[in-house]
């Protein structure tokens, strides 16, 4: 058995999972009724990805704008990397989203409708690449927000009652 045959017969070694949640915008699901989601790649510099992996990102004020056939993520704050020398990034710079043309057209049509916007929901890595989950959402009115709070509290109370009533084994 030569080296090539042995290399083919040995199973691949287990690698550590590289899919990591970098940031989440929980407020977006409260402020918007999300109807569609789309996954996009994001073009970042080296110091930005290092800062993201350290957990220094804020998606709350973020939104997506389509300009000249390209999708841009705006309003997302990624803190400067503390260990960078003279080359650091601007925290609020617009970042290009990596999407196919039909996906960009879908986002542009959706955002053009009255009351709809495209907001970032989650930022994560997938197979070592930075990805962002975008949501096409309609802004909720105040009474809709109160209703979602009521529903959340009702389910929490029901779960608590079930846990309290269920016999322990």
Q: What is the pLDDT of residues 31-63, one digit of tens each?
A: 888 888 999 999 888 888 888 888 888 888 888
pLDDT digits (tens, 9 = 90+) for 9-24: 555 555 555 678 888 8
Question: Does residue 140 register a pLDDT over 90?
Answer: no
Residue with tokens 């890595």: 125
Token reading at 74: 């705006």
CATH class of 17-140: mainly beta
Ranges of each domain in the chain: 17-140
pLDDT digits (tens, 9 = 90+) for 96-134: 999 999 999 998 888 888 888 899 999 988 888 889 999
57 bridge partner residues: 78
Q: How large is the greatest C-alpha to C-alpha distance in the chain, in angstroms?
A: 73
- pTM (two decimals): 0.73
The answer to whether 92 and 75 are in contact (CB under 8 A) is: yes
What b/e sequence results for 39-60 when a residue is b if at least 16 CB atoms lie within 10 Å of its CB, and e otherwise? ebebebbebbbbbbeeebbebe
Three-state secondary structure call for residue 55: coil
């Amino acid at each position: 058995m030569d080296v090539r045959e042995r290399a083919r017969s040995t199973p691949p070694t287990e690698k550590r999972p590289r899919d990591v949640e970098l940031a989440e915008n929980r407020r977006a699901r409260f402020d918007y009724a999300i109807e569609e989601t789309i996954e996009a790649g994001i073009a970042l510099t080296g110091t930005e990805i290092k800062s993201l992996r350290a957990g220094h990102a804020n998606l709350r004020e973020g939104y997506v704008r389509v300009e000249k056939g390209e999708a841009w993520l705006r309003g997302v704050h990624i803190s400067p990397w503390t260990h960078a020398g003279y080359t650091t990034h601007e925290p609020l710079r617009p970042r290009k989203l990596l999407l196919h043309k039909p996906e960009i057209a879908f986002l542009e049509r959706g955002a053009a409708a009255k009351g709809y916007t495209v907001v970032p929901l989650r930022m994560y890595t997938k197979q070592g690449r930075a990805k962002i989950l975008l949501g096409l959402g309609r802004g909720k009115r105040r009474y809709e927000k109160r209703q979602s709070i009521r529903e959340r509290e009702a389910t929490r109370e029901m779960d608590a009652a079930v846990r309290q009533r269920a016999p322990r084994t």
